[in-house]
Structure 1
């Protein structure tokens, strides 16, 4: 997914503020669902972040176009792990792994529905 860095994404020096890399990755995860005609909010529940490990490798700046690439690393009954990388051209500027857990609308961890598990496995 391509993302343009807007003024609102940066600090006073025009450098992307650290938390916005997480926002860019969140948008890319949602876009995976939207591109497939789906919603990341499911009938019985939704996914929440459980654990994130992030490395800030280079600074992105105002006006740049970044690409977020997402790869499924592992899927279990109630959770999955993604690798998300942000590139400026061929240069990697940010990388993170994120563990997401499926919870029902009562807030309890639940088994990922089989249709959603098949969708995620195809990533």
Structure 2
């Protein structure tokens, strides 16, 4: 997925504010659902961030075009782990490893059923 850095994404110096890299990754995960005519909110539940580790490698600035890749690292019974990488041109500038838990609408963890597993595998191929 490609994204442009807008003024609202930056600090007063025109550099992307640190938390916006997480927003960019969230948009890329959501977009994977949207391109298939779906949303991340499924009929049986939805996903929440359980754990993340972020590495800030270089800065992006106002007007930069960034690309975000998403790769499935691990599928577990009630969660899965993704690696998301942000590039400016060919240069890696940010990396996020995130674990997403599958929960009911009552906020209880639940096992990912086979249908949802197939969906996740189709969206985020390793």
> How far did 1:76 drift?
0.8
Alignment of structure 1 residues 1-123 onto 2, 5 Å: 1-122=1-122, 123=124
Q: Deviations over 1:54-83 (max 9, x none)?
A: 000000000000001000000011100000
Task: Give the secondary-structure state (helix, strand or coil) at the position aligned to 2:43.
Answer: coil
Task: Give the secondary-structure state (helix, strand or coil) at the position aligned to 1:18.
Answer: coil
Q: Deviations over 1:8-49 (max 9, x none)?
A: 000000000000000000000000011112110011210000
In structure 1, list runs of 5 or more residues that go unmatched. Answer: none
Q: Deviations over 1:83-123 (max 9, x none)?
A: 00000010000001000000001110001132121011232
CA distance in 2 between partners of 1:86 and 1:23 (Å): 12
CA distance in 1 between partners of 2:116 and 2:60 (Å): 33
Q: RMSD in angstroms over aligned alpha carbons? A: 0.7
CA distance in 2 between partners of 1:35 and 1:15 (Å): 29
* TM-score of the two chains, using structure 2 as the length reference: 0.95
Task: Give the secondary-structure state (helix, strand or coil) at the position aligned to 2:19.
Answer: helix
Structure 1 consecutive aligned stretches of length 4 or more whose deviation exceeds 2 Å: none
* TM-score of the two chains, using structure 1 as the length reference: 0.97
Paired residues, what number? 123
In structure 2, list runs of 5 or more residues that go unmatched. Answer: none
